[in-house]
Amino acid sequence: MRRLKVGLLVVCLGLSVPASLPAFASSSVTVVRGTHYGTRIFPDNAFTVTDRNQVTGHRVNFRQGIDYPTVGGVVRSACNSTDYSICDAFSQLNKLDGFDLQPRVTVPFTGAINLASVNDADFFITSDTGTFASGLRQLTFDPATNTLSGISDAFLREDTAYRIHVTSAIRDGAGNAIKACDGACVVRFTTRTASGELTRIRQAMDLPLSNSRNAYVLAGFPGASTSTASRKLSFTQNGTNDVFLAASVAPSVANPLNGIQRNDQVKVDPTASGAFQSSAVPNLIPPGTAGYYAFGSFLSPRYQYASASGHVDNPYGTGNGFTDGEIPPVPTTKTAAPFGADRIGAIVVTPNPVAFPAPWPVAIYGPGFTRSDYDLFVTADYNASLGILTVATNPSGHGFGPLSTTTVTSSNTPTTFLSYGRGRDLDGDGLIGSGLNDGVGPTGHFQPGGSELPSRKPIDGLESGLVQTTVDDMALGRALAAGLDIPGIGTNLINPAKIMYYGLSFGGIYGTMLMGTDPLFHQGLLNVAGGPIVDIARLSSFRGDLAATLGRARPSLLNGGPGLNGFTEDLPLRNDPPVVMTHPGAAALQELFGESNWYDRTGSPETFAPRIRLRPDSAWASNPKNVVFQTAYADGTTTDPAAAVIYRAGALFDRVVFYRNDKTPSYASDPHGWLADPTLAGRTSGEQQLAAFLSTGQLTNPNPAWLETPIANPNNLECLHYADPQTGQPAVRQPFPASGDCPPPPPH
């Protein structure tokens, strides 16, 4: 029956063997059917064991000394000091309950094949019953190992069995049909559970107070078993209320420090020279439109591990098995338990209570990567003037050190208070930055003399930090629902039925996760989001940061140019023609990127996009969520192809706004920050669209010349609109019409 369905599939797709190549011609090239990783089609349930603690009933089981480590094509019994990152990565994969939701599929052959002969009729994925599920894109062939690779075009369902099909319609270099088992090799694999960790945490946050498994009780919130009072926001430090009449605070774009000033702790030693850096907080909220600025804090359950003394106490996760910055994975039938609670800063901008009497609708703002909650003042231009209260908190690892402070000068009187910076020196360099190596996720570790050892959790990129930040926003939403009381303004100031979200960049990424997890947030706007993280990094301005990670890995994976920043991956974009690898080391890079995406799906936006509307959670299935995504033409930071991954996964293109920066005077700039950066031409239009959406729930278009609402041609998200970094060329952006559309995809 299965072969019949596959045969019908080929007919229905209208694909057949070219007439110029005789179908009966046989080749000596065959599909390799070995017994270990790299010598058989992958993924394959053969690389799992039974585990009843997992949702799928499976657990990945790569065998050390058999499946890994492989160095130079040779499998060794163990890793050593030169290549232990390989063992670390496989050890992480062995905790998963299945394979990737958009898997990189590999097929080893005994000889070379004609890559142009590979298509959706001879290399594809079906459901377990034989129904076509996905073709393979981004095809590559490695002549050093005769391995065909392709990435699933569809984003597959979680906890679901699928089958990979490789048929004899693939040709060798002479045009003869390869030998694929009995005409077709068919391999079964089961996808992993990825959204379950965050969903279970959210469910634990909403358990009855009397339930001992309630997340707030486990985190040690005071009185959590009897009251929600300890969840609420507080705006008092050392007996002083940090609440200021907006009209009494001088507006600022830059220095002088006469309005809102940030004093960031940038060194671990607060007595060291230059330990603190001060700067003005830009404030673009029009004077007279806001009521009050309030600076407060709240408690959030902490799931990321942090040792008592940072990296000094436990630099590598030895002993107790935990690593700073990681959320330790648990079996997928279980719920992660918090290590404790963190007090996190929050900034609130209120409407004028005279013009808009409370209770108010509220919008939580999610800042971008390396940014902070201070960005509230450059992304909430119109909210207060429309009667919306806005609140922001820092992402995990952001906001510099814990001794950072804010100084607000109100009516010429300065008030200084802790800003609850979330940065920690996890890499041991003595510095505390604004993200990346300071608490978002596991890091490298500096050694005496200046060398740096790699993270022992090499494929947990930003996954743990993204999950923790989503938890923090869920906790902030529940803090608001418990009742917002601000000294000098009033009590119960917000409408708990109207809690919304909007986020920029990193805030759009974890905002997508939030919208796909939490029923408390019914309406949200996600600006310039993308995923997964590794694919963002390799094609964007973050490529240098990725190169630093690749360079300190054991072994180093930097393989040289022409790719920018010292590596070339030979990996085409989704609509690009197939690529025969020509750069040694490119296959190892592709393997690492595939493994990282596979592991990181737990904290990646494309995993949660289908849960918003395509396959909604039962908690909101009968009341569809209202979402909008804003994407920018030629975004050089999260990139258009990464945004398209989210929209395809969730079938969301009809809710995508495309900012055509190529049609504006600022066409030559990276448009990524267009919702916050006043130097970009479309900022005002984006802010107007945001405010109207938050206020009315309607998607309007204040500037049809620059905003495609919705996007006119989704294919325009399938190319970068600047030179691929793998070519070694710098990113140069052209104005319209020279900018042009993405080319159509090749036939599949």
Q: Residue 134 belongs to a domain with what CATH number?
A: 2.60.40.1220
Nearest residue to 302 (alpha-carbon basis) of 285, 322, 288, 321: 322
Is the pLDDT at 17 greater than 60? The verdict is no
More confident residue, 257 or 298: 298
Say what the pLDDT of residue 257 is: 80
**CA atoms of 205 and 188, how far apart (whole Å):** 37
Residues facing 406 on adjacent strands:
262, 417
Q: Which amino acid, one-letter code, is at 635?
A: D
**CA atoms of 413 and 290, how far apart (whole Å):** 20
Q: What is the average per-residue pLDDT within 255-269?
A: 92
343 and 462 co-located in one domain: yes
Name the pLDDT band for 655 (thresholds 50, 70, 90): very high
**Cβ partners under 8 Å of residue 178, min gap 6:** 27, 29, 30, 31, 109, 113, 168, 170, 171, 172
Q: Is residue 524 part of a domain?
A: no
438 and 561 co-located in one domain: no
* CA count, 13 A, side-chain hemisphere, 135: 17
In the block, which residue shows the tokens 């707030």?
A: 216
Find the Cα–Cα–Cα–Cα dihedral 45, 530, 215, 193, rounded to 10°: -10
Q: Is residue 742 part of a domain?
A: no
Peptide bond into 577 cis (omega under 30): no
**CA atoms of 673 and 36, how far apart (whole Å):** 46
140 and 182 co-located in one domain: yes
DSSP 8-state assignment for residue 4: H
Is the pLDDT at 55 greater than 50? The verdict is yes
Q: Phi/psi at 285 (nearest 5 deg)? A: -70, 120
Domain final residue, candidates 137, 164, 193: 193
Report the percent of the chain where pLDDT is more than 90: 86
Q: Phi/psi at 466 (nearest 5 deg)? A: -70, -40
Pairing state between β 389-393 and 360-366 = parallel
Is the pLDDT at 9 greater than 70? The verdict is no
176 and 233 co-located in one domain: no
**CA atoms of 474 and 620, how far apart (whole Å):** 16
178 and 202 co-located in one domain: no
Name the pLDDT band for 612 (thresholds 50, 70, 90): very high
Say what the pLDDT of residue 578 is: 97
161 and 207 co-located in one domain: no
Peptide bond into 43 cis (omega under 30): yes
Q: Are 171 and 440 in contact (CB under 8 A)?
A: no
Q: Are 725 and 544 in contact (CB under 8 A)?
A: no
Alpha carbon 212 to its chain's center: 32
Q: Is the dihedral of CA 589, 592, 594, 600 positive or negative?
A: negative
602 and 622 co-located in one domain: yes
**CA atoms of 30 and 42, how far apart (whole Å):** 16
Q: Are 423 and 439 in contact (CB under 8 A)?
A: yes
* Structure confidence by residue, pLDDT tens digits, 507-517: 999 999 999 99
**CA atoms of 471 and 203, how far apart (whole Å):** 11
Domain final residue, candidates 170, 193, 216: 193
**CA atoms of 75 and 65, how far apart (whole Å):** 6
Is the pLDDT at 14 greater than 50? The verdict is no
Pairing state between β 177-179 and 26-30 = parallel
Q: Which stretches does DSSP call E strand in 253-379? A: 260-265, 276-280, 292-302, 340-349, 360-366
Q: Are 456 and 316 in contact (CB under 8 A)?
A: yes
Tokens read off for 488: 């000098």
CA angle 545, 550, 553 (to 5 degrees): 130
Name the pLDDT band for 106 (thresholds 50, 70, 90): very high
Which 3 state secondary structure label does DSSP give 64? strand
**CA atoms of 480 and 495, how far apart (whole Å):** 9
Q: What is the average per-residue pLDDT within 356-381?
A: 97
More confident residue, 450 or 180: 180
Is the pLDDT at 166 greater than 90? The verdict is yes
Tokens read off for 522: 């019914």
DSSP 8-state assignment for residue 673: G
End-to-end CA gap in the chain: 25
Name the pLDDT band for 11 (thresholds 50, 70, 90): very low
**CA atoms of 587 and 441, how far apart (whole Å):** 26
Q: Are 253 and 260 in contact (CB under 8 A)?
A: no
Say what the pLDDT of residue 747 is: 77
Average pLDDT, the chain: 93
Say what the pLDDT of residue 253 is: 81
395 and 492 co-located in one domain: yes
Q: Is residue 268 part of a domain?
A: yes
Is the pLDDT at 312 greater than 90? The verdict is no
Q: Is the dihedral of CA 451, 549, 375, 484 positive or negative?
A: negative
Q: Are 526 and 627 in contact (CB under 8 A)?
A: yes
**Cβ partners under 8 Å of residue 552, min gap 6:** 444, 452, 453, 454
**CA atoms of 710 and 628, how far apart (whole Å):** 9
92 and 32 co-located in one domain: yes
Q: Are 301 and 338 in contact (CB under 8 A)?
A: yes
Tokens read off for 319: 């002993």
231 and 166 co-located in one domain: no
Q: Which domain holds residue 593?
A: 533-727
**CA atoms of 475 and 342, how far apart (whole Å):** 11
Which of 311-315, 541-545, 601-605 has the least mean pLDDT?
Answer: 311-315
**Cβ partners under 8 Å of residue 450, min gap 6:** none
Q: Is residue 513 part of a domain?
A: no
Tokens read off for 725: 């970094």
217 and 161 co-located in one domain: no
Number of domains, the chain: 3
Say what the pLDDT of residue 2 is: 38
Which of 1-5, 342-346, 411-415, 551-555 has the least mean pLDDT?
Answer: 1-5
Per the rule left: phi > 0, alpha: psi between -120 and 50, beta: everything else, 274 is: left
Q: Is residue 321 part of a domain?
A: yes
**CA atoms of 376 and 360, how far apart (whole Å):** 17
Q: Are 340 and 220 in contact (CB under 8 A)?
A: yes
Alpha carbon 46 to its chain's center: 29
Say what the pLDDT of residue 70 is: 82
Tokens read off for 635: 């975004």
Q: Are 26 and 105 in contact (CB under 8 A)?
A: no
Tokens read off for 602: 């737990």
Tokens read off for 538: 């390799």
Tokens read off for 54: 């997992």
Nearest residue to 154 (alpha-carbon basis) of 198, 98, 105: 105
Say what the pLDDT of residue 319 is: 42
Say what the pLDDT of residue 307 is: 62
Say what the pLDDT of residue 320 is: 56
Q: Are 400 and 345 in contact (CB under 8 A)?
A: no
* CA count, 13 A, side-chain hemisphere, 186: 15
Say what the pLDDT of residue 436 is: 74
**Cβ partners under 8 Å of residue 662, min gap 6:** 633, 634, 721, 733, 734, 735, 736, 739
Q: Is residue 528 part of a domain?
A: no
Q: Is residue 652 part of a domain?
A: yes
Q: Is residue 732 part of a domain?
A: no
CB-based burial, 454-474: b 16+ in 10 Å, e otherwise: bbbbbbbbbbbbbbbbbbbbb
**CA atoms of 745 and 648, how far apart (whole Å):** 15
Query: In the 3-class helix/strand/coil scheme, how is 182-247 assigned residue by residue?
Result: CCEEEEEEEECCCCHHHHHHHHHHCCCCCCCCCHHHHCCCCCCCCCCHHHCCECEECCEECEEEHH
Domain final residue, candidates 162, 193, 224: 193
Say what the pLDDT of residue 25 is: 59
Query: DSSP letter string over 315-350?
Result: SS-TTTS--TT------TTS-----EEEEEEEEEEP
Angle between helices 196-205 and 463-481 (to 10 degrees): 20
Tokens read off for 86: 């390989």
Report the percent of the chain where pLDDT is more than 70: 94
574 and 640 co-located in one domain: yes
**CA atoms of 131 and 134, how far apart (whole Å):** 9
In the block, which residue shows the tokens 């940065």?
A: 423
Which 3 state secondary structure label does DSSP give 521? coil
